Amino acid sequence: MAASTANPETDNNPVLASSQLIKQGAEAKIYRGVFMGRPCIAKQRFKKKYRHPTLDAKLTNKRIVQEVRSILRCRKQGITTPTVFFVDQENQCIYMEDIQDSVTVRDFIRRLQKSTSPDDQTALQELADKIGSVLASMHSCDIIHGDLTTSNMLLRQPESSSPLILIDFGLSQISTLHEDKGVDLYVLERAFLSTHPNTEELFERVLKVYGQSYKKSADVLKKLEDVRQRGRKRVMIG
């Protein structure tokens, strides 16, 4: 495993020090490495230097606990997510399963969109069914993902037989509010249609399956329409 550049945040952590930094976002650094002999993804949240250290540690650890709680709650519901190996609150890091031999739904859709094969078009519809069903299951246990995009959904290969795998619960929360669930769907809709042009019908299929699979979906979909209207007004006002 290639070592990452020397870093005070990893020097006292042998797992991170021997891991490869693969992504750096606004809230965390993502490393790929090995944890107790198993391929892992390590997510280390940044220390916010503008906050008092004690307050920063408290808020960050609360966020980490919520992220892990959401993952475990989803798994209990039967939703496939990475297995959490260990939570290191001292170093503000979560070690979890590296989903190997996988592809993002983003890349999978783009590949199928380039094809004219009827089988590939059927695969797109089956994917929409999977997404709608998984979102219904997630919302039925009151998990709000907070960052639903096709980049945060994975499929193992072969994709046709893979369950949908949800990742990156860093912005997740527990909520029973229809409004929050409607916003969750709106975030996915905006990300979906901007990343995958000409897929309006495909996303409508996602919502149709969601509606059929979640008994409280009528209220959520009504809130989704409210959120859409607010979004249109903001665009018109500028």
What is the C-alpha R_g of the chain? Answer: 19
Task: Report the distance separating Cα 127 and Cα 85, nearest Å.
Answer: 29
Instruction: Provide the pLDDT for residue 233.
Output: 55
Bridge-based pairing state of the strands 165-166 and 20-24: unpaired
Judge whether 123 and 173 are in contact, CB under 8 Å: no
Instruction: Provide the pLDDT for residue 3.
Output: 45
Name the stretches of the chain with pLDDT < 50.
1-5, 235-238
Question: Tokens 């798994």, residue?
Answer: 75
Beta bridge partners of 166: 153
Q: How do residues 76-107 score in pLDDT, each as one tens digit? A: 999 999 999 999 988 999 999 999 999 999 99
Question: Tokens 């249109």, residue?
Answer: 232
Instruction: Provide the pLDDT for residue 2.
Output: 46
Does some domain include residue 26?
A: yes
Catalytic residue among 147, 180, 219, 226: 147
- Furthest-apart CA pair in the chain: how many Å? 58
155 & 186 share domain: yes
Total of domains in the chain:
2
Instruction: Provide the pLDDT for residue 230.
Output: 87
Enter the tokens of residue 74.
Answer: 């989803």
219 & 109 share domain: yes
Task: For residue 11, indicate whether it is catalytic.
Answer: no
Q: Which domain holds residue 90?
A: 8-97
Under 8 Å CB-to-CB from 129, ≥6 apart: which residues?
205, 209
Nearest Cα neighbor of 62 from 201, 226, 139, 173 is 173
pTM of the model: 0.90
Task: Report the distance separating Cα 25 and Cα 62, nearest Å.
Answer: 19
Residue 32 three-state SS: strand
- The CATH code of the domain that includes 37 is 3.30.200.20
DSSP-assigned letter for residue 151: G
Domain final position from 97, 127, 155: 97
Instruction: Provide the pLDDT for residue 9.
Output: 60
Domain final position from 65, 97, 129: 97
